[in-house]
Amino acid sequence: MTEDPSNSSGEPRQDAGGESRHPAGGERRRPAGGERRRPAGSVRHPAEHSSLAEPPAPPPAPPASPAPRHALSRRELLTSAARGTGLLGLGAAAGLLGGRASKAATRWQIDPNRCIQCGRCATECVLEVSAVKCVHSHGMCGYCKLCTGYFEPEPINLDEGAENQLCPTGAIKREFIEDPYYEYSINKDLCVACGKCVKGCNMFGNGSLYLQVCHDRCLNCNICAIASACPAQAFRQIPAPNPYLLRGKGAPGT
């Protein structure tokens, strides 16, 4: 075997990796300290730094989910429903009171200047006997002996016999004052609002007899049945403090 000319002393030589190698082909030996030497200028492999490298950053946390809605308990549900019902009840009560206040503020009445004495006041009222009655303005009356609101157009006699009277129920009372004057008054309990006396007085007299809604009898309906049926639209709503449309000076109430 030829000896390595670079090492004639017989000492073990070191190879490029830092290991000792016996010149006679003996086994390589690591230098003292057990650590393998690295040639100068060599770079450590990144894997060798794994024990010293910082651990990877943890993945970002997922966005926080919204807090779950609180489920209503039976008591809370019933309380909420009761509050809603209470509010609805208050609204309905307010509407009802408003309607009542509006109704209480006005009264139905007949405009005597528009009335045509059609006879519907006697038949269309919701009451069994109509709340409409004939009234008499004594300040306008002529106190006639031959009253065309009292007598038939061609009476047999000018007296108080039923056969001579225009009123079918005898609701007009005739009293002698002095010749040739007579006074006429209306019995509201007998008047049925047929309007015959009013038509006679307006046709041939001075119109002192006319029809009015009597509010000691009227129910003051929201929609008056007579007003709905009136062909002359003579009904209207007027302020409750003054519920009559009276004719003449000194016209009496009903």
Answer whether residue 203 shows pLDDT above 50. Answer: yes
Mean pLDDT of the chain: 79
Q: pLDDT tens, 34-73?
A: 555 555 555 555 444 444 456 667 777 666 665 555 566 6
Query: Do residues 14 and 8 make contact, with C-beta atoms less than 8 angstroms apart?
Result: no
Cβ proximity of 119 and 134 under 8 Å:
no
Q: What pLDDT, in 10s, does the model give residues 101-146?
A: 555 799 999 999 999 999 999 999 999 999 999 999 999 999 999 9
User: Does residue 233 register a pLDDT over 90?
Assistant: yes
Rounded distance between C-alpha atoms, residue 211 and residue 198, angstroms: 7
Neighbour tally for 69: CB within 10 Å: 6
Confidence band, pLDDT 50/70/90 cuts, at residue 165: very high
For the CA atoms of 6, 7, 12, 17, the dihedral, rounded to the nearest 10 degrees, stands at -10
DSSP 3-state of 119: coil
The pTM (predicted TM-score) of the whole model is: 0.60
- For the chain, the structural domain boundaries read 106-239
